Structure 1
Amino acid sequence: MPITTSITPCLWFDDNLEEAMDFYTKIFPNSSIGNVQRYGEAGPGEPGTVMAGDWVLDGLTFRGINGGPMFAFTEAISLSVTCDDQDEVDYYWENLVAGGEESMCGWLKDKFGLSWQIVPTRLFELISDPDPVKGQAAMQAMLGQRKIVIAELEAAHASAS
């Protein structure tokens, strides 16, 4: 008998889950906020504030809790967004990094501290070139970037011999 399993990432927020759900669902297409559970009069949180909730980002379901300040996001886990072209890279980069911080090699932290990788499919094509010199040249170009710029990767790849 087949077993059906559903795996849903659950993210721990301090007290800004509602803001995060709204932020993320406005950036990604095919997204929505689902069930939201709020604290009642019996506590332990402020009545009416969000305790937990779920949302969908481009078809992928997430769950979140307002668990308090004792745990924070680290780079040990990130969400990767694969982009078809530079316009998509620019869109996701600019929207997700707003209020957050840039890192290297297509990585950023959003304003909630969650790490994201914004990666064009062209990067994978270039670094996987059968000619290892060309692939390495594209990789070296990427290692020097913050937001990935496809034209720079292609120029490095093309100039390698």
Structure 2
Amino acid sequence: MSAVKLCLWYNKDAEEAAHFYAATFPDSHVDAVHRAPADFPDGKAGDVLTVEFTLLGLACIGLNGGPRFTHSEAFSFQVPTETQEETDRYWDAIISSGGQESRCGWCQDKWGLSWQITPNALTKAMAAGGDTARRAFTAMMPMTKIDIATIERAVAEQGDV
């Protein structure tokens, strides 16, 4: 295992976020919860300070650092999916738990982290380049959650869209 861990800053709910991710995504689990040994600027001794967790096989630490820093779409998790059911399951879990829809397969969880729920059909079409990529891209642009059947129909079209 790599010694590198991704540290994600939360206001006060790193433990709740870690448990949500563990319940939502495969190869995800909460590994340890550490409490503050003393008072700190945004918390008291005994409050949850850090949470070690694994998210889709990636080692992470959630830090309850307070409200100073917030997440932005400049950082996102891209989650590849094989089927519409898998796409829907992840998307719906994030949105229904207080998240927000965005565009082109992006959504944001209730803690402000951005997610790209990206079907492999879209990734493959974009990698093909040329007209195939253009048709897939054009089909994707008005979408919130990606609809695989629509992408596949666009890719299968001949000529101009």
Instruction: Name the residue aligned to 1:80.
Output: 78
User: Deviation of residue 111 (structure 1)?
Assistant: 0.6
Alignment of 1:97-136 (within 5 A): 97-98=95-96, 99-129=98-128, 132-136=130-134
3-state DSSP of counterpart to 1:128: helix
- 1:35 is aligned to 32
Is the 1:73–1:114 Cα contact (8 Å) retained in structure 2?
A: yes
Partner SS state of residue 7, structure 1: coil
Q: State the one-letter code of the partner of 1:19.
A: E
Give, in angstroms, the shift of residue 5 of structure 1. 5.3
Aligned-CA RMSD value: 1.6
Match for 1:159: what amino acid?
E
Corresponding residue of 2:48? 50
Runs of 4+ with deviation above 6 angstroms: none
CA contact (8 A) 2:11 2:67 kept: yes
SS of corresponding position for 2:151? helix
Over the matched positions of the two proteins, sequence identity in percent amounts to 40
TM-score by length of structure 2 reads 0.90
- 1:84 to partner: Cα distance: 1.1
SS of structure 2 residue aligned to 1:11: strand
- Counterpart of 2:151 (choices 134, 153, 158) is 153
Are 2:9 and 1:17 equivalent residues in the alignment? no
Q: Distance in 1 between matches of 2:2 and 2:81?
A: 28
- Report the counterpart of residue 139 of structure 2 in structure 1: 141
Structure 2: runs of 5 or more not aligned = none
Aligned positions, number: 156
SS of residue in 1 equivalent to 2:8:
strand
Q: Point out the more displaced range, 26-35 or 76-85.
A: 26-35
Extract unaligned runs of 5+ from structure 1.
none
